[in-house]
């Protein structure tokens, strides 16, 4: 992964830029000692300069913007509430992001990561910072033909719990985008060990849940489906919300519904969806082919705004 | 929790002390962004000056020592292997710990925390550091009468998985002391909300597992029992290993065996065991009394070396 080019911290006196290579949290910060904090990631795209009516001499304005920043800030706020971390408000985050965007030196797209930790275990305020990183090479740029996305090979790995494990168990932090992602990264290493690119997590009662860093989208009998949040513990995905809404607006049936793992192989198509990389079709699951329909791939990319 | 008084880093040129309040990892360190790393904690005690035969003018030698440092380093090495993080070897860790101990300014006991992160996501070596922190007030000091320990009130909270969830699922990182502890700290907050001090995690099939930052010890019908590691996903505890060995040496039956939650209420006694605080008897579980036998409490403290 490329190195972050811009880091901005929310200091007591307001947002300030920080040397991207300099350390940012102390040895006893709970975000580091316990993975006790939350984050969110969003896509940063160039502002379309065409069609504006600015005059010479006007402030050129920002060169980049975050796709659905309010949606990501709302999800981050929900994560912070679940963790009971007193979080900066939306205006403070927005100013922090603007500070980072003004320093972004690249013409292309970037990934914005917003991080909030509980702060030092010895006491002290939560730590809030954002990073901007070039999007990894090979990822589809927004507006590029989605059909150039190579389908990925995925493996199924058990998440170890039934699909209703998170009902009435808020301490399990279902749906919270915490910094405690070691299992997610271990699952991705297991996938590579098996010669695959990614993972679809499964419940002990046989359902497909989500992926380590992406949500799951399934089109089956024409209906556009994604895993319910809540009792399953999976994260709400801002991108999947957008896809379901756009599919519904085109007259598709679109809903949250659990899908059995076995039914993935006979679906119309299966996608992993993350806002920082767009919808990626799954072409192979545990070594068996999953249908990839170019027309449907283009539909899903369009629904996602890619 | 008190602030760490000493922080030492393993730099490329060897161990060096670090300002305890200065940041220690970069914004893209996987230990921070993903809780992708591991740690271990150990008790630091004064070296007993009595009975030595040092002459005036000799190097006074270290004032403090770590209880079972090799045991903790072995567990840390096992955690690093499970995470596939290339870790410093035992000699390098030992030298790093010695560097920290030489700087420890207090006469009393301390907690040593050893941390290893995967390092920057953009590439670069793993990050290894240790901290020394005063032991929190009110914790029994080693050698003090164990019966002064107030029994704690615990609540049971589901861990969301069956007791065999981790069989053949190494990506779930069972038994690995990772930095991804957000659920553990959330469970402790839930306990406080319920007016309790601590948590006993339970499996969906009704067994008692462990506590968020401690192992579980049960004495039942005279036998000394602790949760099996492996398929349960719980951490191996160096302190519980020591207790089982000492109990067996005194002629007790001592073994790893799953105990049903309901059987905790009728046990001879129940303890939460962590090396940094010694064995703590549980006096109440979900508002119901758990037997606390002073003689047995003294036995368990002795077995633990407290």
- Model pLDDT for residues B228-249, shown as the tens digit of each residue: 999 999 999 889 999 999 999 9
Does B40 reside within a domain? yes
- The answer to whether position B139 is within a domain reads no
Q: Do B124 and B157 have their domain in common?
A: no
More confident residue, A238 or B75: B75
What pLDDT, on the 0 to 100 scale, is given for residue B51?
Answer: 45
Got the DSSP string for chain B? Answer: -PPPSEEEEEETTEEEEE-TTSEEEETTBHHHHS--EEEEEEEEEE---TT--PPTTS----SEEETTHHHHHHHHHHHHHHHT-----HHHHHHHHHHHHHT---SS-EEEEEEEE--BTTS---EEEEEEEEPPTTSPPTTS-GGGSPPEEEEEEE-SS-TTTTTT-GGG-TT--BS--HHHHHHHHHHHHTT-SEEEEE-TTSEE--BTTBEEEEEETTEEEE--SSTT-PPP-HHHHHHHHHHHHTT--EEE--EEHHHHTTSSEEEEEETTTEEEEEEEETTEE----HHHHHHHHHHTT-
CA distance B68 to B65: 9
Q: B81 with B169, same domain?
A: no
Report CB contact under 8 Å: A33, B179: yes
**Amino acid A146: pLDDT:** 46
A101 and A177 inside one domain: no
**pLDDT band, residue B205 (cuts 50/70/90):** very high
Contact B122 A2 (CB under 8 A): yes
Residue A159 forms contact with B (CB below 8 Å) = yes
Is A143 among the domain residues? no
A190 reaches B (C-beta below 8 A): yes
- The CATH code of the domain that includes A201 is 3.20.10.10
Residues A160 and A274 in one domain: yes
Please tell me whether residues B126 and B181 are part of one structural domain.
Answer: no
pLDDT of residue A16: 97
Nearest CA-CA distance, residue B98 and chain A, Å:
18
Asked whether residue B123 falls in the same domain as residue B152, the answer is no
Of B26, B159, B160, the CB nearest to A22: B26
Residues of chain A with Cβ-Cβ distance to B23 below 8 Å are 22-26
pLDDT of res. A139 = 55
Whether A203 is covered by a domain: the verdict is: yes
Give the range among A150-164, A232-246, B21-35, B133-147 with minimum mean pLDDT: B133-147
User: Which residues in chain A are closer than 8 Å to B25, comparing Cβ atoms?
Assistant: 23-25, 32
Distance from CA of B88 to the nearest CA of A (A): 18
pLDDT average, residue stretch B23-28? 96
- Asked whether the beta carbons of residue A182 and residue B25 sit closer than 8 angstroms, the reply is no
Looking at residue A105, its pLDDT comes to 85
Residue B212 has a pLDDT of 97
The pLDDT of residue B231 = 96
Give, for all 306 residues of chain A, the pLDDT tens digit: 889 999 999 998 999 999 999 999 999 999 999 999 999 999 999 987 544 454 555 566 789 999 999 999 999 999 999 999 999 999 999 999 999 999 998 888 999 999 999 999 999 999 999 999 998 655 555 555 444 578 999 999 999 999 999 999 999 999 999 999 999 999 999 999 999 999 999 999 999 999 999 999 999 999 999 999 999 999 999 899 999 999 999 999 999 999 999 999 999 999 999 987 789 999 999 999 999 999 999 999 999 987
The residue range of the domain holding B222 is 146-303
ipTM computed for the complex: 0.91
Output the CA torsion sign for A114, A118, A121, A127: positive
Task: Say how far apart CA A284 and CA A153 lie, in whole Å.
Answer: 5
Residue B105 has pLDDT above 60, yes or no: yes
Question: How confident is residue B306, by pLDDT bands cut at 50, 70 and 90?
Answer: confident
Q: Is A71 within a domain? A: yes
Domain edge (last residue) among B78, B109, B134:
B134
pLDDT at A43: 92
Question: Do residues A35 and A155 both lie within one domain?
Answer: no
Q: How many domains is chain A built from?
A: 2
The verdict on A258 and A160 lying in the same domain is yes
A134, A162, A180 - which closes a domain: A134
Chain B contact for A124 (CB, 8 A cutoff): no
Examine the pLDDT at B53 and tell me if it is beyond 90: no
Same-domain check for residues A23 and A96: yes
Instruction: Please check the confidence at residue B275 and state whether its pLDDT lies above 90.
Output: no
A204: burial class by Cβ within 10 Å (0-12, 13-18, 19+)? Answer: middle
Residues near B268 by beta carbon (within 8 Å), at least 6 away in sequence: B219, B220, B221, B222, B291, B293, B296
CA distance A225 to A233: 17
Is A290 among the domain residues?
A: yes
Of B33, B166, B179, the CB nearest to A34: B179
Nearest CA in chain B to A33: B179
Q: Which residues of A touch B3 (CB under 8 A)?
A: 28, 120, 122-123
Check CB contact under 8 Å for A35 and B166: no
What pLDDT sits at residue B55? 53
Q: Does B124 contact chain A (CB < 8 Å)?
A: no
pLDDT of residue B135: 85
- Average pLDDT of chain B to the nearest whole number: 92
* Local confidence band at B107 (pLDDT 50, 70, 90 cut-offs): confident
A167 in contact with B, Cβ within 8 Å:
no
Residues B154 and B275 in one domain: yes
Q: Please answer yes or no on whether B179 and A183 come within 8 Å at the CB atom.
A: no
Asked if residue B173 and residue B101 are part of one domain, the reply reads no
Please report whether residue A54 resides in a domain.
Answer: no
Which residues of B are less than 8 Å from A169 in CB distance? 157-158, 160
- Given B73, B104, B134, which residue is the final one in a domain? B134
Read off the CATH number of the domain in which A93 is found: 3.30.470.10
Q: Does A213 lie in the same domain as A96?
A: no
Q: Does any domain span residue B140? A: no
User: Are B160 and A179 an interchain contact pair (Cβ–Cβ within 8 Å)?
Assistant: no
Cβ neighbours of A7 in B, within 8 Å: 27
Interface test with B, best of A25, A96, A171, A211 (most B CBs within 10 A): A171
């Amino acid at each position: 992964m490329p190195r972050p080019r811009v880091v901005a911290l929310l200091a007591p006196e307001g947002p300030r830029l920080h040397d991207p290579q300099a350390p940012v949290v102390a040895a006893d910060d709970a975000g580091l000692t316990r993975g006790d904090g939350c984050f969110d990631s969003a896509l940063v795209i160039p502002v379309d300069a065409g069609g504006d009516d600015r005059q010479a001499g006007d402030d050129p304005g920002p060169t980049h913007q975050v796709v659905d920043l309010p949606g990501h800030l709302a999800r981050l706020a929900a994560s912070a509430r679940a963790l009971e971390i007193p979080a900066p408000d939306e205006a403070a985050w927005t100013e922090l992001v603007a500070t980072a965007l003004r320093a972004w030196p690249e013409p292309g797209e970037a990934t914005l990561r917003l991080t909030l930790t509980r702060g030092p275990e010895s006491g002290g305020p939560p730590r809030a910072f954002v990073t901007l990183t070039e999007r990894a090479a090979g990822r589809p740029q927004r507006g590029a033909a989605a059909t150039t996305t190579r389908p990925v090979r995925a493996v199924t790995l058990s998440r170890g719990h039934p699909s209703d494990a998170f009902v009435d168990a808020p301490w399990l932090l279902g749906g919270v985008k915490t910094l405690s992602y070691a299992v997610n990264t271990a699952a991705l290493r297991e996938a590579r060990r098996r010669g695959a690119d990614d993972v679809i997590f499964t419940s002990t009662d046989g359902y497909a849940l989500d992926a380590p860093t992406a949500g799951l989208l399934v089109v089956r009998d024409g209906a556009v489906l994604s895993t319910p949040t809540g009792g399953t513990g999976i994260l709400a995905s801002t991108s999947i919300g957008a896809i379901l809404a756009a599919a519904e607006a085109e007259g598709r049936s679109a809903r949250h519904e659990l899908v059995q793992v076995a039914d993935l192989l006979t679906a119309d198509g299966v996608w992993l969806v993350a806002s920082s990389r767009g919808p990626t079709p799954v072409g192979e699951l545990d070594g068996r082919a999953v249908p990839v329909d170019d027309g449907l791939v283009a539909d899903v990319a369009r629904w996602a705004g890619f």
